[in-house]
């Protein structure tokens, strides 16, 4: 059974506006931050192993800084059982290396299914 999420409430935008007013920031930043957190929750719930990078890790992972993310710097690590040899890094520019990343990205699009997002 799917859980109930804030974005499914009829007063979701009202809730966004309350937070925006309290923090003196634009409502779209609050909503963007909500969606970032919802996706991170969904990835973790599905068992994906990921790492946050830069300011996102400081804000979301460790609560060291207080900010609303403009973007999210994330690396989703491939599962050990994935039958794709993934080549990453600056020197991996050969066609086979590029194709391995394309195959992995395709696998991600087929396997990420965030609950509460249709």
pLDDT at 63: 62
What is the pLDDT of the chain when averaged over all its residues?
A: 85
Predicted TM-score (pTM) of the model is 0.78
Lowest mean pLDDT among 8-12, 92-96, 113-117: 92-96
pLDDT, tens digit, 9 for 90 and up, residues 4-25: 899 999 999 999 999 999 999 9
pLDDT at 91: 75
Written in H, E and C, the secondary structure of the chain is CCCCCHHHCCCHHHHHHHHHHHHCCCHHHHHHHHHHHHHHHHHHHCCCEEEECHHHHHHHHCCCCCCCCCCCCEEEECCCCCCCCCCCCCCCCCHHHHHHHHHHHHHHHHHCCCCCCC
């Amino acid at each position: 059974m799917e859980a109930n999420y804030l974005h499914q409430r009829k007063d979701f935008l009202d809730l966004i506006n309350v937070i925006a007013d309290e923090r003196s920031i634009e409502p779209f930043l609050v909503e963007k931050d909500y969606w970032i957190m919802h996706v991170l929750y969904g990835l973790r719930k599905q068992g994906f192993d990921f790492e946050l990078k830069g300011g996102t890790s400081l804000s979301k992972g460790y609560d060291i800084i207080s900010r609303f993310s403009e973007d999210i710097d994330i690396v989703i690590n491939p599962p050990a059982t994935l039958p794709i040899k993934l080549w990453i890094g600056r020197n991996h520019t050969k066609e086979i290396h590029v194709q391995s990343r394309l195959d992995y990205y395709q696998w991600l699009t087929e396997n990420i299914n965030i609950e509460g997002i249709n």
